[in-house]
């Protein structure tokens, strides 16, 4: 630790660095007080050490005396030794010399359901370090500060308001900081900048004269500031300091943007979920409105490119009081996953076509029958179950005309597809191309699904 930043060793006594926050100073004092208290520690020098600790805490726990100490103005005249050499005031966070360091207090709030903790982040900061601490304190407060009623809401509003305005900047303390920094720049040869800082110090002192003049050190510093202004007056107006502490700089614009960003993300999430909802289907006036989209049918041939033909979601009539049975209509149990239902014949198996039934978009199981059409007659070729969100592929189908009939096992509604024509054309390399017809869905009567097969292959 640099001696110039801890002239009397107050931070060292507490075991801290000059950039410590007030809460860290309080915690360190409590810890060291327990270690050094004469009632608990019987060493001969603990009383004197405890007195030094108490004096260090008294200086560092008060904003005014701590700023004076950090600025190396030394202790009060009653105990002060000879004046120390003029040294620059450095940022208590990064240690850099800035033309406009300020003593600033930011607020940070964390809440639970019934408890609210408000801490302060304070010190003499350069504009950059102050900005980063303001944004961090505000972000933490926005996320963690509101969850206690009513104290969390009140304290968070107070904290965010002050952080948005650049934190609390006590004028009397910042007069001393500006006056001391003016002396350093003037003695370092930058007279015009020293004069500009002395002008700012005089401006800050204008409303705090009585408080500053309450101590001999304050009166001497105020008189020295006016003497400095008079000595450096060359008839040319001093340069105007660029205001790096304006509330319109990016850090103080970013802070109110934090809740706006959180709200925008929430709205975007909701809008995205709404957009993912399937749009209402175009309905035929003579057919009932479906409650869910129909499964998709994909027809392809072995070794050939796949083609997809989604079913139009028309749907069938819901059966009142429908209750899914524990077993399939033939008395056999349902398969545990998408598969053929046991006990039903498998027909037309000498072809090269595959047919995929995709139920991925639905939340209900489907009991399906693929029927071979031969004029006015039909033959059940395959009987299978497709679970909710699943898919099942029928293989080795013989070329011909088929349709798909299925029942929604949640509502009991029935539907059928448009006829699907599968034609095989042999080409080189034993690859078959399949031509499929249009695939739509229509409402289906109960008899069209439950009637017995009338043909056998």
Can you give the pLDDT of all 457 residues of the chain as single tens digits? 444 467 788 888 888 888 788 888 888 888 887 777 666 666 656 667 777 887 888 888 887 778 778 766 444 443 444 444 567 889 988 989 988 899 999 999 999 888 898 999 999 999 889 888 988 998 899 889 988 888 888 999 999 888 888 889 898 888 889 888 888 888 787 888 888 888 888 888 888 888 888 877 778 888 878 877 877 766 777 777 777 776 666 666 676 677 677 677 778 877 777 665 545 544 444 444 444 566 665 554 333 323 343 433 444 455 566 778 888 988 899 999 999 999 999 999 988 888 888 888 888 899 999 999 987 788 999 999 999 988 999 988 888 889 889 999 888 888 888 888 877 766 554 444 444 444 566 777 777 787 554 433 3
Q: Tokens standing for 328? A: 């399939």
Query: Is the alpha carbon torsion for 85, 89, 94, 99 positive or negative?
Result: negative
Distance (Å, whole) CA 296 – CA 314: 12
Q: Tokens standing for 445? A: 């009567």
Distance (Å, whole) CA 60 – CA 152: 28
Distance (Å, whole) CA 362 – CA 356: 15
Q: Tokens standing for 97? A: 């010399």
Instruction: Find, among 258, 256, 254, 172, the residue nearest to 217 by Cα.
Output: 172
User: Given this model, what pLDDT does residue 107 score?
Assistant: 94
Instruction: Find, among 305, 304, 383, the residue nearest to 343 by Cα.
Output: 383
Distance (Å, whole) CA 223 – CA 209: 11
The helix (run of H) or strand (run of E) holding residue 370 is: strand 366-374
User: Given this model, what pLDDT does residue 19 score?
Assistant: 78
Query: Are 290 and 278 within 8 A, CB to CB?
Result: no
Q: DSSP per residue over 379-437, as a string?
A: EEEEEEEE-TT-EEEEEEEPSEEEEEEEEETTT--EEEEPPEEEEEEEEGGGEEEEE--
Instruction: Find, among 7, 101, 10, the residue nearest to 52 by Cα.
Output: 10
Give CA 205 to chain center in angstroms. Answer: 44
> What are residue 320's phi and psi, to 5 degrees?
-65, 130
Give CA 421 to chain center in angstroms. Answer: 53
Query: Are 352 and 394 within 8 A, CB to CB?
Result: no
Say how many C-beta atoms besides its own lie within 10 A of residue 315's C-beta: 26
- Bridge partners of residue 27, in order along the sequence: none
The helix (run of H) or strand (run of E) holding residue 301 is: strand 296-301
Instruction: Find, among 366, 221, 177, 396, the residue nearest to 301 by Cα.
Output: 396
| CATH class in words for 1-61 | mainly alpha
Say how many C-beta atoms besides its own lie within 10 A of residue 153's C-beta: 16
Q: Tokens standing for 212? A: 């500053």
- Bridge partners of residue 379, in order along the sequence: 372
Cα angle at 386 between 382 and 391, to 5 degrees?
A: 105
Unique residue bearing structure tokens 């448009």: 418
Query: Are 347 and 455 within 8 A, CB to CB?
Result: no
User: Given this model, what pLDDT does residue 369 score?
Assistant: 93
Burial status of residue 271 (CB atoms within 10 A of its CB: 0-12, 13-18, 19 or more): exposed
Distance (Å, whole) CA 266 – CA 254: 18
Q: DSSP per residue over 64-124, as a string?
A: HHHHHHHTT--S-TTT--SPPPP---B-TTT--B-SS-EEEEEEEEEE-SS-EEEEEEEEE
CA end-to-end span of the chain, whole Å? 96
Query: Are 426 and 412 within 8 A, CB to CB?
Result: no
pTM, to two decimals: 0.43
- Which segments of the chain belong to CATH 1.10.287.110? 1-61
State the pairing for strand pair 420-427/441-443. unpaired
Distance (Å, whole) CA 381 – CA 349: 9
User: Given this model, what pLDDT does residue 281 score?
Assistant: 44
């Amino acid at each position: 630790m640099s001696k110039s930043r801890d002239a009397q060793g107050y931070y060292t006594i507490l075991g801290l660095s000059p950039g410590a926050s007030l809460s860290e100073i309080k915690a360190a004092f409590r810890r060291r007080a327990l270690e050094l208290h004469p009632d608990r520690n019987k060493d001969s020098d603990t009383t004197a050490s405890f007195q030094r600790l108490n004096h260090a805490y008294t200086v560092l726990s008060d904003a005014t005396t701590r700023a004076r100490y950090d600025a190396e103005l030394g202790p009060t005249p009653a105990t002060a030794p000879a004046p120390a050499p003029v040294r620059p005031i450095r940022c208590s966070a990064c240690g850099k010399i800035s033309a406009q360091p300020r003593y600033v207090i930011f607020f940070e709030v964390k809440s639970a359901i019934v408890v609210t903790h408000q801490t302060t982040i304070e010190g003499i900061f350069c504009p950059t370090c102050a900005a980063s601490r303001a944004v961090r304190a505000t972000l933490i407060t926005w996320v963690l500060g509101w969850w206690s009623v009513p104290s969390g809401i009140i304290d968070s509003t107070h904290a965010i308001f002050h952080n948005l305005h650049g934190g609390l900047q006590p004028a009397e303390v910042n007069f001393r900081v500006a006056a001391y920094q003016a002396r350093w720049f003037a003695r370092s040869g930058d007279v015009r900048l020293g004069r500009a800082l002395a002008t700012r110090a005089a401006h800050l002192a204008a409303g705090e004269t009585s408080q500053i003049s309450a101590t001999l050190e304050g009166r001497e510093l105020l008189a020295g500031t006016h003497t400095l202004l008079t000595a450096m007056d060359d008839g040319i107006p001093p340069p105007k300091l660029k205001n790096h502490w304006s509330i319109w700089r990016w850090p103080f614009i970013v802070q109110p943007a934090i809740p706006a960003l959180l709200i925008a993300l929430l709205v975007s999430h909701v809008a995205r979920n709404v957009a993912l909802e399937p749009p209402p289907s175009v309905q035929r006036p003579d057919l009932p409105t479906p409650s869910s989209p129909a499964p998709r049918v994909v027809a392809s041939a072995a070794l050939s490119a796949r083609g997809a033909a989604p079913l139009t979601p028309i749907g069938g009539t819901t059966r009142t009081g429908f209750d899914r049975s524990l077993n399939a209509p033939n008395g056999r149990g349902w398969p545990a996953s998408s598969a053929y239902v046991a006990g039903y014949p498998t027909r037309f198996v000498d072809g090269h076509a595959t047919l995929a039934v995709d139920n991925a978009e639905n939340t209900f199981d489907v009991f399906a029958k693929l029927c071979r059409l031969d004029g006015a007659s039909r033959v059940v070729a395959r009987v299978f179950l497709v679970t909710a969100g699943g898919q099942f592929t029928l293989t080795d189908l013989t070329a011909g005309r088929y349709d798909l009939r299925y029942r929604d096992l949640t509502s009991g509604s029935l539907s059928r597809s448009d006829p699907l024509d599968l034609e095989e054309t042999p080409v080189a390399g034993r690859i078959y191309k399949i031509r499929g017809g249009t695939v739509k869905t229509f409402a289906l009567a109960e008899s069209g699904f439950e009637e017995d097969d009338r043909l056998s292959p």
